[in-house]
Amino acid sequence: MLRIAHISDTHITGGEAYKSYAYDLIVNEINRGSFDFVIHTGDITNQGLREEYERASYELKKIQKPLIVLPGNHDVRNVGYELFEELIGPRNGVFEFKDGVVIWVDSTIPDLSDGRIGGRKFRWLKERLEEHSDRRFKIVAAHHHLVPLPNTGRERNVLFNAGDVLDLLIRHDVALYTCGHKHVPNVYRVEDLIVDNAGCTSCRKTRRGDVNSYNIITLHDDGRIGVKIRRVTGDEARKEHRPIRPKIFVPSGRRLLRIVQMSESNVSDRIYFRRRVLENAIRMINHLKPDLVVHNGDVVDMGIERYYEKAIGFYRRVKGRKLVVPGHNDITYLGHDLFTEYFGEPREVEMGNFLVIPVVSAQYETPIGVVGRMGQKKLAEKLKENEDKFKIVVLHHNIVPIPRSRELGFLEDGGDVLHVLTKGGADLVLTGHGGNAFGVKVEDTPIVNAGSVSWELHRNPFGNSFNVIDIYRDMIVVFEVQATWGSGRLLGIWKVKRP
Ligand SMILES: [Fe+2]
Ligand SMILES: [Fe+2]
């Protein structure tokens, strides 16, 4: 067994942002406790100034355990990254321990609050992960959060390439990603990866009236990972994860439901719209005989009558039950009215024990989405009312970052929406923004994004595609089908409770 104390966002400064008594309380607790080492995930100072760094270096020396420290966005303000190296240590590095390794990465961008593990650093991280691939516990530490967090207000300052990083970590069997930054303690499981956010250890700026805290990570010999959020008030919240292995399952019984999921057809006159690819996809979709076809939005490239007329022509050729939610392109110009005129208000679809819930997240004239506080409340109620049903939520915007997309059209309340979905027991979530197919399970909720079915400007190395989602008694299997060639690849396979 190995125990790690995870502190973050100490914001050490002479001013009032810093609560020295909270810092001392937590550090004393850590020194008294049985910890193998300590990780500080950044924002050690408040403005990256010399006097702050000098004090921080003094304060950090109070920690009587091996310590890993990396910079946060506050530390690199005012060219503080040079002082970091001078007074604290290297900004990137590798720390090895029995059974595992911690790779820490500087995710900051000078003078911005946003984060990035871009270009060379991404390659460096990938190489380190390959080099240590035999290690049982691979831990990556950085300052910025990877998955939207609840109770942080507007979702922002995530890593610009969070989707790529998430994909990299999952592919390399990383056990734990530790970070800070949002001053909200939280633990999510994304596939087999634990995403551990520390709250703030000694900054006054806690959210939602919370108090200072730190996280205690326990790596058990049998592979289990426990994370405990420990607040200065003594309150504790703990979570434990047992890794899912083996990862290949075989579904049992007959198929209960088949959904075809497509997105971003972007019907238009523009050369980027691939009419023949869409026609081909529709032929394949009809051949697959799905119980429901879901279109996750951006049916047209722009909200004009001519495009809607064209789109409905294609859409009528799709046989069977259909559900469309609008994307941001659909409601540009007069699209707001045209969408309802042509496709109708998105309505719930009930099929036996399956309930499909559409959520409109598109906003007028901006790629940024929102569900809104009222929308979140309604969704939470809907999930609760239908506790015993198999609930599938359909919306346009991404709630987990998608590889290769740069979070341009993010969901501004993504953190709270993800919380509503995972806590409310949504059994499957379908999204369709970002132009790339991707699927991950967050907590117990698989989240599947569709790539673009017929728009040339996508980000999917597999090309234009749609997803086929087969639901069995104990399992969801998702295949991505290439819209031109019809070849398929497995996007995800997840155990589910019981449809
Ligand atoms: Fe911070
Ligand atoms: Fe930060």
Instruction: State mean pLDDT over 44-49.
Output: 97
- Of all ligands present, the nearest one to the C-alpha of 156 is 2
The pLDDT of residue 498 is above 70: no
E strands, 89-243, in order: 93-97, 100-104, 108-109, 112-115, 137-141, 176-179, 186-190, 193-197, 213-219, 225-231, 236-241
More confident residue, 170 or 409: 170
- Alpha carbon of 11 to ligand 1 centroid (Å): 7
Length of the chain: 499
Q: List the shell of residues around ion ligand 1, using CB closer than 5 Å.
A: 9, 43
What integer best gives the mean pLDDT of the chain?
95
Tens-place pLDDT, residues 276-308: 999 999 999 999 999 999 999 999 999 999 999
- Alpha carbon of 143 to ligand 1 centroid (Å): 9
- Alpha carbon of 185 to ligand 2 centroid (Å): 13
- Of all ligands present, the nearest one to the C-alpha of 179 is 2
- Alpha carbon of 9 to ligand 2 centroid (Å): 7
- Alpha carbon of 45 to ligand 1 centroid (Å): 9
Token readout for 98 is 């029995």
In order, the DSSP letters of 317-346 are TS-S-EEE---TTTTTTTHHHHHHHHH-S-
Q: What is the pLDDT of residue 268?
A: 98
Tens-place pLDDT, residues 84-111: 999 999 999 999 999 999 999 999 999 9
Q: How far is CA 373 from CA 151, 154, 367, 452, in A?
A: 12, 11, 19, 29
The DSSP 8-state label assigned to residue 222 in this structure reads T
Token readout for 233 is 């008030």
Which residue's structure tokens are 């992960």?
A: 129
Rounded Cα distance between 459 and 478, Å, is 19
Q: List the shell of residues around ion ligand 2, using CB closer than 5 Å.
A: 43, 72-73, 181
Q: What is the pLDDT of residue 365?
A: 85
Rounded Cα distance between 176 and 241, Å, is 11
Task: Look at residue 474 and give its three-state secondary structure.
Answer: coil
Rounded Cα distance between 274 and 464, Å, is 9
- Alpha carbon of 143 to ligand 2 centroid (Å): 7
CB-based contacts of 364, cutoff 8 Å, min separation 6: 331, 332, 336
In order, the DSSP letters of 58-89 are HHHTT--S-EEE---TTTTGGGHHHHHHHHT-
Tens-place pLDDT, residues 440-480: 999 999 999 999 999 999 999 999 999 999 999 989 999 99
Which pLDDT band, with edges at 50, 70 and 90, does 407 fall under? Answer: low
Instruction: State mean pLDDT over 364-369.
Output: 90
Q: Tell me the domains of the chain and their CATH numbers.
A: 2-241 (3.60.21.10), 257-495 (3.60.21.10)
CB-based contacts of 393, cutoff 8 Å, min separation 6: 356, 357, 359, 379, 383, 421, 426, 428, 429, 430
Q: What is the pLDDT of residue 311?
A: 98
- Alpha carbon of 74 to ligand 1 centroid (Å): 7
Rounded Cα distance between 289 and 400, Å, is 29
Which pLDDT band, with edges at 50, 70 and 90, does 251 fall under? Answer: confident
Tens-place pLDDT, residues 266-279: 999 999 999 999 99
Q: How far is CA 426 from CA 103, 220, 369, in A?
A: 34, 30, 20
Token readout for 173 is 């069997």
E strands, 257-376, in order: 257-262, 292-295, 322-324, 349-351, 354-358
- First-residue to last-residue Cα distance in the chain: 38
Which pLDDT band, with edges at 50, 70 and 90, does 401 fall under? Answer: very high
The pLDDT of residue 499 is above 90: no
- Alpha carbon of 9 to ligand 1 centroid (Å): 5
Instruction: State mean pLDDT over 24-42.
Output: 98
- Of all ligands present, the nearest one to the C-alpha of 157 is 2
* Inter-residue contact 284 to 486 (CB < 8 Å): yes
For 148-178, the three-class secondary structure string (H helix, E strand, C coil) is CCCCCCCCCCCECCHHHHHHHHHHCCCCEEE
Instruction: State mean pLDDT over 178-205.
Output: 96
Q: At 201, phi and psi to the nearest 5?
A: -75, -40
Q: What is the pLDDT of residue 183?
A: 96
Q: What is the pLDDT of residue 496?
A: 84
- Of all ligands present, the nearest one to the C-alpha of 145 is 2
Rounded Cα distance between 124 and 107, Å, is 13
The pLDDT of residue 64 is above 80: yes
CB-based contacts of 172, cutoff 8 Å, min separation 6: 126, 129, 130, 133, 138
The pLDDT of residue 212 is above 90: yes
Q: What is the pLDDT of residue 405?
A: 86
- Alpha carbon of 107 to ligand 1 centroid (Å): 13
Query: What's the gap between Cα 290 and its chain centre?
Result: 28
- Of all ligands present, the nearest one to the C-alpha of 115 is 2
Q: What is the pLDDT of residue 18?
A: 94
* Inter-residue contact 474 to 251 (CB < 8 Å): yes
- Pairing mode of beta strands 193-197, 186-190: antiparallel
- Alpha carbon of 236 to ligand 1 centroid (Å): 22
* Inter-residue contact 5 to 38 (CB < 8 Å): yes
- Alpha carbon of 288 to ligand 2 centroid (Å): 48
